[in-house]
């Protein structure tokens, strides 16, 4: 089962700060996820998995 990658709290705070100051309309959810690196990682590609698993 895919596991989500989760951005750090500081990265989220910085993103919200930046968005608060911007006059642009908010991006789509997929774009926000892309900008923050928040996406589903297939089980066999998880960085915390040992190569032998």
48 lies in some domain:
no
53 lies in some domain:
no
Q: Which helix (H) or strand (E) holds 3?
A: strand 3-4
For the stretch 7-51, pLDDT in tens is 889 988 998 899 899 898 988 988 888 887 776 655 555 555 555
Residues contacting 29, CB < 8 A, separation 6+:
none
Q: How many domains does the chain have?
A: 1
Q: 19 lies in which domain range?
A: 3-42
14 lies in some domain:
yes
Q: String of b and e for 10-48 (b: at least 16 CB within 10 Å)? A: eeeeeeeeeeeeeeeeeeeeeeebeebeeeeeeeeeeee
Answering whether pTM is above 0.85, one says no
Q: What whole-number distance in Å separates Cα of residue 11 and Cα of residue 42? A: 23
């Amino acid at each position: 089962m895919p596991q989500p990658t989760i951005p750090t709290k500081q990265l989220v705070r910085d993103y919200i700060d930046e968005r608060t100051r911007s006059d642009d309309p908010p991006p789509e959810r997929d774009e926000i996820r892309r900008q923050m690196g928040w996406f589903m990682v297939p089980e066999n590609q998880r960085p915390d998995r040992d190569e032998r698993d």
